[in-house]
Amino acid sequence: MSERNLVLLGPPGAGKGTQAERLVDDFDLPYYATGNILREAVEQETELGRKAKEYMEAGELVPDDLISEVIAERLDSGEADDGFLLDGFPRTIGQAEMLEKALDGRGRSLTAALLIDAPDVEVVRRLSGRRTCVKNNHVYHTDFDPPKNEGVCDQDGSRLVQRDDDKPETVRKRLQVYHDQTEPLIQWYEDRGLLRRFDGTREPEEVNSHIRATLATLALEAEI
């Protein structure tokens, strides 16, 4: 079986985390969501967390070198040798170049960049109702995907909370940052023949089956 080295791309709220939950189950891949890693670091008041906190609260990106180090550590941990699913990284051309170089130096390469796209009005609607569980970051929505019992995670029983940066002013800032700094990556990956697009406005199950079909095709092509 060839490696599955994947990145998820798309605006905040497009459904990357929601799809990642399913893909991790489908393919048993180690999942690295830089937003989750950083929020945990902030909570635990590690050095990384202390450095990242202000940027995150303002809806800005943390500096490339800070986050690139986190990813390099994961690539060298041994658990990602057969593949990985990155969510929220890369977010700038600089980070994408770093990833390309890091993989190249290890004799590896990216399998695909999966773009889940959705227009601004839709992601604003989604982020304002997003709730995540404190234990494992399982994702819900107050209207589109409510838990069975209000405020409680269906999967692990932990409390559901709203992220501080899902407040309207910060959401607007994050979207602007996405359009300015992350959107150029779409063309960057397109130029390398790695981009695969998915319509994030579809139902989660439909998006999942499109992604699975694409990954199945890529696996077949890799075997030929």
Say whether residue 210 binds ligand ADP (CB under 6 A).
no
Cα 149 to Cα 112: distance, rounded to the nearest angstrom: 37
Residue of 15, 59, 9, 13 whose CA lies nearest to 38:
59
Judged by beta carbon, residue 143 or residue 223, the one nearer ligand ADP is 143
Concerning whether 130 is annotated as a catalytic residue, the answer is yes
Q: Does 144 bind ligand ADP (CB under 6 A)?
A: yes
Catalytic residue among 163, 197, 202, 212: 163
Applying CB under 6 A, does 75 fall inside the site for ligand ADP?
no
Q: Which one of the spans 58-66, 149-157, 185-193, 208-216 is the region binding ligand ADP (CB under 6 A)?
A: 58-66
91 is catalytic: yes
Least Å distance, CB 145 to ligand ADP, is 4
Q: Determine the interface stretch with ligand ADP among 9-17, 41-49, 98-106, 154-162 (rule: CB under 6 A).
A: 9-17
Closer Cβ to ligand ADP, 4 or 91, answer by number: 91
Among 6, 14, 23, 48, binds ligand ADP (CB under 6 A): 14
**CA neighbours closer than 13 Å in the CB half-sphere of residue 164:** 11
Which pair of structure tokens corresponds to residue 176?
């602007």
- Does 61 bind ligand ADP (CB under 6 A)? Our answer is yes
| Binding residues for ligand ADP, total number by CB under 6 A | 35
The residues of the shown chain that bind ligand ADP, judged by CB under 6 A, are 10, 12-18, 34-35, 38, 55-56, 59-62, 67, 88-89, 91, 95, 126, 129-130, 139-141, 144-145, 165, 174, 203-204, 207
